Structure formats: C-alpha cells, structure tokens
Structure 1
Amino acid sequence: MVEKLPLNISQKIQIRRKDAKEWFNSSVQDIRDGYYININMPFIKERPLVLRRNEKVVVRFFSEQSSFNFSTKVIGEVSDNIKLYRLDYPQEIIRVQQRNHVRLPVILDIEYTLPEENKDNKKKIVFRKTTTVDLSGGGMKLLTREKIEPGTKILLVFSLPLKNRPELIEINSLVARCIKVEPDREVYHIGIKFKDINLNQEDKIVRFIFEKMAQQKRLR
C-alpha cells in the first residue's frame, strides 16, 4: 500500500532536479492519493524551473511536526487557467532527520543567559536582550554588545513567529565564534551552535525559514 502524503492543497513545497542543488518554490494544487500531485510552476525570484516529462525531481516540505522529502518524476503538464506540472505519486517518503543548514538573514528578538553565571541558585537568573543576524536549523548569529568567548555555554529563549501561531523556543547552545564588527564600539557577532535541540524544535525552525523564504519570493 502506498504511504499517504502529509500534504494539503495550497501547501508550500520546494522542488529541484534530482542532480541539481537549487531549490525552487512552488505549491500543491491537487492531490490524488496513489496517482499524482499537481503543482504550480516552480520559481526562484522571477526564474522558472522548466521541467520535461519523465524528468526526475526531489520535493521537500514541512508539516506541523516534521520535515519530509521524496523523489519522483514529472508525468506531464496540466492546464487549469495556469500551467501546472503533474508529478508521479511517490512510492517512498523520507522524514528528514538531519539538520538543515540553509541560513536565513532575519532579525528576531532573543533573550539569552550564560549558565556559568547562574551556578548560585540563590541569585535570580538574569537574561539579556538582543537580536539575531541570521538563523538556520543548526544555529544562529547574534548581535551583542558584550564579548562572549568561543566554547561558552549559552541558553537562548525566543518566540518563533510561525504562520499559524508563535512558538516559544528554548535551546541550550554553545558559542562557536565571536567577531568584533565595529572597531570603535563594543559590538560583536556571536556565532551560536545549537547543542540540545530536539527534532520538534528543529522542524519548527526549518519550517519558519521555509515560510519566510516563500514570503520573500511573493514580495519580489
């Protein structure tokens, strides 16, 4: 029995040729379980992905809890006021376990604290406020006014503004690098590597990145 795809009509997806690296943005227009999937013409900015019959492709997408991909082939074109591609229904769906390192430039409000400073439980934990410079499934870059040495443990707390609802994320992390970006001022870029991120948190971050990329494409 063919596995049912956790896909919905109008859901955003990304697609690439099997041997290529560039991901193009598209969306699902119709699904017939076990038979085919119709998708919009994929684009990067204004550049379309022109596909031919029997061409092999890879599709990836994100659900509420997980990220997935599958390999398939183009089985034709469909005309429904707009040009659609029809993909063969996949025989195998892969849940993506590895971290996604696509890095998205984005500004998010972040609170952080250094656990080494909070060893004395009698003291109230103090969080500093700052913002991100970018974000990926494996880490982020912070803009701070203090130097934090590589190897320092750091606890991050932030709200991830997903399309359906905001999600509070709390991750124990590690400072990977610290670069002073203004020679006359105490301003630093702090490279962060997520340490204890779970799959659910990672999926939400990757889904947020995907949603922002799709939104930016629509605004261009």
Structure 2
Amino acid sequence: MPNRSGLAEKYRSRIEDITDNMVIAMPMSKGVPIMLQRGEVFFGRLVEDCVAYEFTTSLIAKQLQPLPAWIITLPYDVKKIQQRAFVRIDTALPVQIAEIIDGKVVEDKIINAVTKDISGGGVQIAINRHWHIGTNLLITVNYPEIGPVTLRSQVIRVQQPQPDREVFWVGIKFLEINEKDRGNIIKFIFKRQLEQRRKGLE
C-alpha cells in the first residue's frame, strides 16, 4: 500500500477469521496502526508452504475488540506468483463426471471420483480411468458449505504416479465458471487453509 510519498510499503499481518468477509490483524508500523480509508484498495501476499500468492482486496471497516483488526473484502485476482493462477489446496471432495462427446453430455455413463486437490481454476482427481489431454467433461464437485457446482471442463494433465497401478492423477481445468462460483470456491479454500493452519498450532 502507498505511503505519504506515494510509494508502496509492506506491512505484516495475519488472517484471524473468514466468514462473508476476511478479518486480518491490524497492520502496524513501529507500534503505530497503519491508516487506511474505508473502501481503499490494497494488495496482499500470503505465503503457504514456501509458495507465495498475491491478491487484491479493500478495507471495509476497522475494529478494536477483541483484538485490533481490519475487516476486508474476500480476496480477488488471486495469483500464485510466477506459477499457477489460483491458490490450490489438497482436499478430498466427491466428484461426478460425464464425458462431452461432439458437444453432447453422455449422461448415462456418470463416473464417481474424488479430488486430490482443488483451486479456483480447476481440480485434480484420482481415478482408475485414463483420459486423453483435451477430453471435454462435465463435472460436478460437491463443496462443503457451497453445495454441488457443475462446470464444463477439460483434461489438461494426466499422470500415473505408480506405473504398476491403474490409478491416474488427472488435472482438469474449468472452461466455464461465473465469478460468483469462483469467488465461493476461493473463499472455501482460504477458510480451509486457515483451519489447517490453526490445527497445526494446536
């Protein structure tokens, strides 16, 4: 965020809570709270497992109790620096998959699978089926607190971690997703990361 000279400055904080918005510890400089106007946009950086993610947000309000904090909007324009475009987290969620052939969904051959990891831009699943890169799919991911989200998608990566086992890790990219669904997924990911971080401190 800019200082009085208009130059960008960096301040440390931490995520305290995630609900409809995000609560972060009030940034300080030499023990003095950073002054920011309501509605002002700023950039954040989150480091998770030695990987950095950048995002955009804005200040909604400030609070002093129970701890000095800022209430900010949920992050958007989340980017993994110089790598993936979205934050990714390992988690197992049920998925239903149907192939799309010649533009038509093959509804009589639904396949059940489980995610290996998820992001706002796609999922990776573990499955005993091999698809070619470029295969179009209609997938339904059942997200806790969000519900099922059905999206047209495409296979972009296939790995076989153990050559002697017919189990594949399939990377799937969302082709069509509205910003509301993407925002809900990213919110779920940030909330799950916060829960995992808190468990690690117990």
Rounded to whole Å, the distance in 1 between the matches of 2:198 and 2:75 is: 27
Of 127, 130, 150 in structure 1, the residue corresponding to residue 113 of structure 2 is: 130
Query: 1:98 offset after TM fit, Å?
Result: 6.5
Rounded to whole Å, the distance in 1 between the matches of 2:59 and 2:96 is: 40
Match of 2:100 in 1: 115
- Please state if 1:104 is matched with 2:104: no
Match of 1:26 in 2: 16
Rounded to whole Å, the distance in 2 between the matches of 1:181 and 1:58 is: 37
Query: 1:68 offset after TM fit, Å?
Result: 7.1
- Please state if 1:181 is matched with 2:169: no
Q: Structure 1 pair 40/19, CA: closer, same or farther in 2 (3 Å)?
A: closer
Q: Structure 1 pair 124/211, CA: closer, same or farther in 2 (3 Å)?
A: closer
- Any idea what the Cα deviations from partners look like across 1:58-86, whole Å, max 9, x if unmatched? 469xxxxxx971169xx9x95x5x6x335
Q: Which stretch shifts more, 171-180 or 108-117?
A: 108-117
Match of 2:3 in 1: none
- The letter for the 2-side match of 1:51 is M
Task: Count the aligned residue pairs.
Answer: 166
Match of 1:152 in 2: 135
| Sequence identity percentage | 22
Rounded to whole Å, the distance in 1 between the matches of 2:75 and 2:92 is: 29
Match of 2:49 in 1: none
Match of 1:212 in 2: 192
- Give the TM-score normalised by structure 1: 0.61
Q: Structure 1 pair 186/116, CA: closer, same or farther in 2 (3 Å)?
A: same
Unmatched 5+ stretches in structure 1: 1-16, 29-38, 43-49, 61-66
Are the equivalent residues in 1 in contact too, given 2:97–2:111 (CA < 8 A)? yes
Unmatched 5+ stretches in structure 2: 1-7, 36-41, 46-54, 80-84
Matched residue of 1:218: which SS? helix
- Give the TM-score normalised by structure 2: 0.65
Query: 1:24 offset after TM fit, Å?
Result: 3.0
Are the equivalent residues in 2 in contact too, given 1:104–1:209 (CA < 8 A)? yes
Give the root-mean-square deviation of aligned CA atoms.
3.9
> Which has the larger Rg?
1
Rounded to whole Å, the distance in 1 between the matches of 2:15 and 2:75 is: 19
Rounded to whole Å, the distance in 1 between the matches of 2:74 and 2:103 is: 41
Matched residue of 1:114: which SS? strand
